[in-house]
Amino acid sequence: MKKTLKYLKPYWRGVAAGLFLKLLGSVAELFLPLLLEYVINDVATNAALSSDVKIRMIVISGVLMVVCSLTALLGNIFANRLTVKSSGNMTHDLRYDLFQKTCYLSSKQTDEIGVPSLISRLTSDSYYVNQMTARTLRLGVRAPILILGGLILAFWRDVTLALVLLACVPIVGIVVSLITRKSVPLFSNVQKKQDVMVRDLQENITGVRIIKALGKTEYETEKFDGTVKDLASREFRANRLNSLSNPLATLILNLGLVAVIVVGAVYGKKTGTILAFLQYFVIILNAMIALSKIFVVISRGSASAARIAKVLDLDVGETVEELPEGDKSYKIVFDDVSFSYNGVKDDVRNVSFALKPGQTLGVIGATGSGKSTLVALMMRFYDVGKGRVLIDGKDVKSYTLKELRAKFGAAFQNGFLISDTVRKNVDYGRDLSEEEIDEAIDAAQARELVEGLEGGLDFVLAQKANNLSGGQKQRLLVARALAGKPEIIVLDDSSSALDYATDAALRRAISTRYENITKVIVAQRVSAVKNADLILVLDDGEVIGLGKHDELLNTCREYAMIYAAQMGGEEYGTLSAE
Ligand X SMILES: Nc1ncnc2c1ncn2[C@@H]1O[C@H](COP(=O)(O)OP(=O)(O)O)[C@@H](O)[C@H]1O
Stretch that binds Mg ion, among 46-54, 369-377, 394-402, 559-567 (CB under 5 A): 369-377
In the complex with ligand X, the residue whose CB is nearer, 129 or 532, is 532
Residue 302 or 369: the one with the smaller Cβ distance to ligand X is 369
CB of 415 to ligand X, least distance (A): 13
Q: Is 414 in the site for ligand X (CB under 6 A)?
A: no
Using CA atoms, how far apart are residues 170 and 181, in angstroms rounded to an integer?
16
**Which does residue 327 bind out of Mg ion, ligand X, none, counting CB within 5 to 8 angstroms by kind?**
none
Here's the x/- map for ligand X, 331-350, by CB under 6 A: it reads as ----------xx----x---
Q: Which is nearer to ligand X, 277 or 412 (CB)?
A: 412
Distance CA 460, CA 510 (A): 26
Sequence-distant (6+) residues with CB within 8 A of 363 are 371, 374, 375, 520, 521, 522, 523, 529, 535, 536, 538
Q: Which of 342, 115, 110 is nearest to 206 (CA)?
A: 115
| Residue 496 in contact with Mg ion, rule: CB under 5 A | no
In whole angstroms, give the CA distance from residue 66 to residue 25. 13
> Cβ of 465: how many Cβ atoms within 10 Å?
19
Return the one option of Mg ion, ligand X, none that residue 373 interacts with (CB less than 5 to 8 A, by type): ligand X
Q: Could you list the beta-strand ranges (E) of 207-331.
A: none
Distance CA 244, CA 251 (A): 11
Quote the DSSP letter at residue 325.
-
Min dist. Cβ of residue 540 to ligand X (A) = 8
Minimum distance from CB of 238 to Mg ion (Å)? 43
Q: How far apart are CA 40 and CA 272, in angstroms?
A: 5
Q: Does 373 bind ligand X (CB under 6 A)?
A: yes
Stretch that binds ligand X, among 167-175, 297-305, 371-379, 525-533 (CB under 6 A): 371-379
Give the number of residues in contact with ligand X, rule: CB under 6 A: 12
Instruction: Please say whether the beta carbons of 452 and 422 come within 8 A.
Output: no
Q: Tell me the C-alpha distance between 279 and 33, whole Å.
A: 6
Q: What residues contact 326, with CB distance under 8 A and at least 6 apart?
A: 333, 335, 388, 390, 393, 394, 395
Q: Which one, 88 or 207, has the nearer CB to ligand X?
A: 207
| Length in residues, the chain | 578
Query: Which partner in ligand X, Mg ion, none is near 369 (CB below 5 to 8 A by kind)?
Result: ligand X
Within its chain, how far is the Cα of 386 from the centroid?
Answer: 33
The one of Mg ion, ligand X, none whose footprint includes residue 111, by CB under 5 to 8 A per kind, is ligand X
**Residue 207 to residue 2: CA distance in whole angstroms:** 39
Compute φ and ψ for 536, nearest 5 degrees: -110, 120
What is the smallest separation between the CB atom of 370 and ligand X, expressed in angstroms? 4
- C-beta of 341: minimal distance to ligand X in Å? 3
Q: How far is the CB of 318 from ligand X (least distance, A)?
A: 20
Task: Decide which of Mg ion, ligand X, none touches 365; Cβ closer than 5 to 8 Å per partner kind.
Answer: ligand X
- Per CB under 5 A, the list member of 41, 279, 372, 495 interacting with Mg ion is 372
Among 144, 368, 455, 569, binds ligand X (CB under 6 A): 368
Examine residue 472 and tell whether it contacts Mg ion (CB under 5 A). no
Shortest CB 538 distance to ligand X, Å: 7
User: Could you tell me which stretch among 49-57, 85-93, 326-334, 366-374 binds ligand X (CB under 6 A)?
Assistant: 366-374
* Interaction mask 79-118, ligand X, x per CB under 6 A: --------------------------------x-------
User: How far, in Å, CA of 290 to CA of 19, rounded?
Assistant: 17
* Residues in 395-454 that interact with Mg ion by CB under 5 A: 413
For strands 534-539 and 518-523, give the pairing. unpaired
Interface with ligand X includes 495 (CB under 6 A)? Answer: no
Q: Give the residue, chosen from 367, 414, 512, 516, that forms a contact with ligand X under the rule CB under 6 A.
A: 367
SS3 for 131-185, per residue? HHHHHHHHHCCHHHHHHHHHHHHHHHHCHHHHHHHHHHHHHHHHHHHHHHHHHHH
Q: How far is the CB of 463 from ligand X (least distance, A)?
A: 24
Q: Which residues bind Mg ion (CB under 5 A)?
A: 371-372, 413
Q: Which residues bind ligand X (CB under 6 A)?
A: 111, 341-342, 347, 365, 367-373
